[in-house]
Amino acid sequence: MTTHLVWFRADLRVNDNLALAAACRRPEARVIGLFIATPQQWREHHLAPRQAAWIQAHLHSLQLSLAERGIPLTVLDVDDFAASVDALENFCDEHNVDALFYNYQYELNERQRDAAVEKRLGDTLVCQGFDDYVLLAPGSVTTGNHEMYKVFTPFSRAFIKRLHEGLPECVNAPAVRQSGPLPTPAPFKPFDYPQTEPDADLFPPGEAAALNRLRQFCRQSLADYDKKRDYPAIDGTSRVSPWLAIGVLSPRQCLHRLLREHPDALSGGTGAVWLNELIWREFYLHVLAYWPALCRYKPFIPWTDRVQWNNDEAQFIAWCEGKTGYPIVDAAMRQMNTTGWMHNRLRMIVGSFLVKDLLIDWRRGERYFMSQLVDGMLAANNGGWQWVASTGHDAAPWFRIFNPTTQGERFDPQGDFVRQWLPELKDIPGKAVHQPWLWAQKQGVTIDYPHPIVEHKQARVATLAAYEAARKQ
């Protein structure tokens, strides 16, 4: 009997899974699944304990969903990617695998691992990979000179043109593949990695929960998305990123649900702003595949690597703990530290504060985010940090520096978000909460909240000088 193996990675779902669907096309083939955890690799890449728990929870769900279809899923635990190649080869030998199916990953180490697998196994079995993690394959949206775009807007225009020419299709979940008794899921041990359970009210595990969240957002919230998305006190964003990050939800499912509810989104109508966010995700993935040095913490703009960073350890810890004395920054950091998620507008604010107020290397912020986020994803995280640091593709100009106080006043005008995460400021009314020391001085009271660790105007001057010096070298 022919045996097809589906090697699951960042695609923990049965619906719209290109590798799984391809493995199941031949009804006479026996289909089995495998997931290989690599805790040592995770440690080197600062995987958040919340995301480790998130992955494990979805592996249990996936195992049950596959078993209902007659497909057993085995979960192995090895140290790193090198060991995973050996484990995969041994598993294929043990189970007499004829064909291996998997969905591509675009990070450098993952691509090197896949190349090693294809070299090792390519002579003995068929290896088939699929561009499942993206809407359009990296390298398929390029300039007239067949080069990758460096700026988002022309990339977005070209991307939408390609979508008009033909949408990437979703594929169905496989049907039940055997008439006899279905396989009993084999229990697997918890990963050898620290784990923290994500907030189940915010992010309930499972494909059904992911699809329900997507459906609710597209039907109920998307029409006002462009008006509400920048205000963290309002539940105005999709919050599907944790499921997208590990592949419980596919970008094709997001696109088709969007167009089902708002058919004019591709032409600039309702839903176009959220579509733009999906295309930003694609942009960062395509960029990462084209310039793999980004995976090694290299800036895209070379001269920015000459910036002389301050890297004050006490200030970095204050930023991490949400004790900078700037309420919007501190509230955002405490939200992430508590829930594993942060509103996108706040990611820009706290990133700008770390890099351009504290003059601390953006790579330290990138790694800290990965250590906390349940939706951690290298391409988007690296792209976002290089954007605020003015070191990457289509980044903010190096002389653009957010004022954290005015950002708070603009996007949390009544201070509702700040008071939610900084209970020590709960008695300060309205927007006065964004300058609590000024309010306390006027009231003649004391507050249990730190003074600002830097003065923004002075910090801005120092940062501009540091960037200008690096640029002129």
Which CATH number goes with the domain that contains 212?
1.25.40.80
- Residue 362 annotated among the catalytic residues of the structure: yes
Q: Is residue 199 part of a domain?
A: no
Calpha distance 423→428 (Å, rounded): 10
Domain presence at residue 450: yes
Check whether residue 282 and residue 146 sit in a common domain.
yes
The reply to whether 319 and 452 lie within a common domain is: yes
398 classed as catalytic: no
Catalytic residue among 7, 42, 274, 280: 280
Percent of the chain with pLDDT over 90: 95
- Residue 193 placed within a domain: no
Among residues 237, 265, 290, which one ends one of the domains? Answer: 290
Q: Can you tell me the mean pLDDT for 232-237?
A: 95
- Taking only the tens place, the pLDDT of each residue in 347-363 is 999 999 999 999 999 99
Could you give the CA distance from residue 346 to residue 352 in angstroms, rounded to a whole number? 10
Together in a domain, 335 and 251: no
Query: What pLDDT shows up at residue 179?
Result: 67
| Residue 277 annotated to the active site | yes
Same-domain status, 409 and 460:
yes
What is the reported pLDDT for 184? 84
pLDDT of residue 192: 92
- Residue 385 bears catalytic tag: yes
Active-site position among 310, 344, 403, 424: 344
Residues 425 and 334 in one domain: yes
Phi, psi of 199 (to 5 degrees): -65, 110
Is 286 contained in some domain?
yes
In this structure, what CATH number is given to the domain that contains residue 402? 1.10.579.10
Is residue 78 in some structural domain? yes
Between CA 330 and CA 324 the distance in angstroms is 6
DSSP 329: H
313 among known catalytic residues? no
Q: CATH no. for residue 122?
A: 3.40.50.620
Q: Strand, helix or coil at 193?
A: coil
List 127's β-bridge partners, or say none: 100
Q: How far apart are CA 225 and CA 443, in angstroms?
A: 38
Residue range 133-144: average pLDDT? 97
Active-site residue (options: 243, 274, 385, 387): 385
Which tokens sit at 299?
A: 């800036």
* pLDDT class of 186 with cuts at 50, 70, 90: confident
Element (H, E) at 37: strand 30-37
Same domain, 51 and 114: yes
Same domain, 230 and 363: no
**Residue 191 belongs to some domain of the structure:** no
Is the same domain home to 279 and 320?
no
Same domain, 22 and 40: yes
Catalytic residue list contains 169: no
- Out of 68, 89, 261, 277, which one is annotated catalytic? 277
Could you tell me if 271 and 374 lie in one domain? no
Q: Over the stretch 54-92, which tens digit does the pLDDT of each residue have?
A: 999 999 999 999 999 999 999 999 999 999 999 999 999
Q: How many domains does the chain have?
A: 3
Euclidean distance between the first and the last CA atom of the chain, given in angstroms as a whole number: 66
The mean pLDDT value for 254-275 works out to 96
The reply to whether 104 and 12 lie within a common domain is yes
Q: What is the C-alpha to C-alpha distance for residues 50 and 105, in angstroms, rounded to an integer?
A: 21
- Tell me whether residue 182 is in a domain: no
Last residue within a domain, chosen from 79, 103, 132: 132
Per-residue pLDDT tens over the stretch 431-462? 999 999 999 999 999 999 999 999 999 999 99
Query: Exposed, middle or buried: residue 164 (CB in 10 Å: 0-12, 13-18, 19+)?
Result: exposed
Per-residue pLDDT tens for 120-132?
A: 999 999 999 999 9
Catalytic pick among 110, 261, 309, 424:
309
Q: Which of 234, 259, 290 is the last residue of a domain?
A: 290
Domain that holds residue 165: 134-170+207-290
Q: Do residues 334 and 407 share a domain?
A: yes
Distance (Å, rounded) from C-alpha 310 to C-alpha 313?
A: 9
| Per-residue CA distances from 427 to 403, 411, 450 (Å) | 24, 20, 16
Give the closest residue to 52 by CA, choosing from 193, 249, 241: 193
Residue partners of 353: CB distance under 8 A and separation at least 6:
319, 324, 326, 329, 402, 404
* Burial state string for 304-339 with b = 16 or more CB within 10 A and e = fewer than 16: beebeebeeeebbebbbebbbbbbbbbbbbbbbeeb
| Alpha-helical segments (H) within 177-326 | 207-216, 225-228, 241-246, 251-261, 272-290, 313-321
Residue 472 lies in a domain: no
DSSP assigned state of 173: P
Percent of the chain topping pLDDT 70? 100
